[in-house]
Structure 1
């Protein structure tokens, strides 16, 4: 009689654990989707700012068409990419490089650097970039939590049984050389 109660108790505990673990995986999967949606929203804001930025710079640097075309092409490719986070990160890295070229070009035009519209667009883009970084950190944190739970015992048994898998991190390439260099502070 006691052994039957013990076995029944253990079965109930296992069933409760499976339910709790399963619901935890469902929660993480939905948080990953929500976090990715946050990244997409910020990237769309970025994409919408870029044409205005290009047009503003074009007004001052008409003969720099190669840079404008590069930015426009990179923006189009990034917008069209709906692949994995790794594929999206690759497109975003190309776009970031093109934007760096555009801002480097702007350095050659003092009138442009003083233009209120350009400064406002630059500020908005900087704000969006900060929000993308925050959304990326949140997304990667949720992915980390999911991946740990997929790998840890005994939750890995539930993950395997119900086909919960590891998610991909969204990693943008960092310019390692620039990250190591001291920050230049200029007061104009």
Structure 2
């Protein structure tokens, strides 16, 4: 009799979406792991990138320091993707690193020798590829969370989800997506005031009259 009751309960749970909730929850977890993996790949590139730029533009200390500090911040974070506040802090920190790297790449434009350096070109290619992977991983994660949230909020699986403690999960925000996609403006005049003005062309000697 007990076995029959268990079989009936199992069939009811399956019909109400319990198995699908498990599958969707695991898909979200796997998607999040991939997001973290791609962000870590980017963070691992930063020290070599900074050191390579420093070899040609050591006086761009303000920009180099900003990248280093932003990288240290994301490296020290312990994020809980199920906690909205923790996820928001993670988004902000990653956005700050994206912004710092964008400013660094703008500064690089003032150093032709650096732009032609083979090591820098390789790092730049790796960084661009990683940024693309991050965008793909984030986009997939957003879709997985949306699919999961829609499912656990729908009847009758919302009753099963509530029974077993599966609630909606926080997601990346639209505001953060927009901020990351917008490259920051760099005012070289302001940088010059801080002692980081790019090199100026030397005046050419005038022919004798």
Question: What TM-score bracket applies, with the shorter chain setting the length?
Answer: 0.7 to 0.9
Alignment of 1:114-133 (within 5 A): 114-133=116-135
Residue 137 (structure 2) aligns with: 135
Q: 1:76 to 1:178 in 2, by over 3 A?
A: closer
Q: Is there any run of 5+ residues in structure 2 with no aligned partner, and where?
A: 1-7, 80-85, 184-209
Check whether the contact 2:98–2:180 (CA below 8 A) recurs between aligned residues: no
Q: 1:16 aligns with which of 11, 28, 32?
A: 11
| Per-residue deviation, residues 44-99 of structure 1 (Å, max 9, x unmatched) | 11011111110110011111111111101100111122223322111110000100
Residue 111 (structure 1) aligns with: 113
Q: 1:178 to 1:74 in 2, by over 3 A?
A: closer
Give secondary structure in 1 for the equivalent of 2:166: coil
Q: 1:178 to 1:33 in 2, by over 3 A?
A: closer
Count of aligned positions: 169
The 4+ residue runs of structure 1 with deviation greater than 6 A are: none
Residue 163 (structure 1) aligns with: 165
* More helix as a share of residues: 1
Give secondary structure in 2 for the equivalent of 1:19: helix
TM-score between both structures, scaled by the size of structure 1: 0.82
Residue 67 (structure 1) aligns with: 63
Residue 92 (structure 2) aligns with: 90
Residues in 1 aligned to 2:180 and 2:19: alpha-carbon distance in whole angstroms: 40
Residues in 2 aligned to 1:65 and 1:174: alpha-carbon distance in whole angstroms: 28
Give secondary structure in 2 for the equivalent of 1:169: coil
TM-score between both structures, scaled by the size of structure 2: 0.74
Cα distance, 1:119 vs structure 2: 1.2
Cα distance, 1:173 vs structure 2: 3.1
Q: How large is the Cα RMSD of the aligned pairs? A: 2.3
Residues in 2 aligned to 1:54 and 1:136: alpha-carbon distance in whole angstroms: 25
Q: 2:30 aligns with which of 16, 26, 34?
A: 34
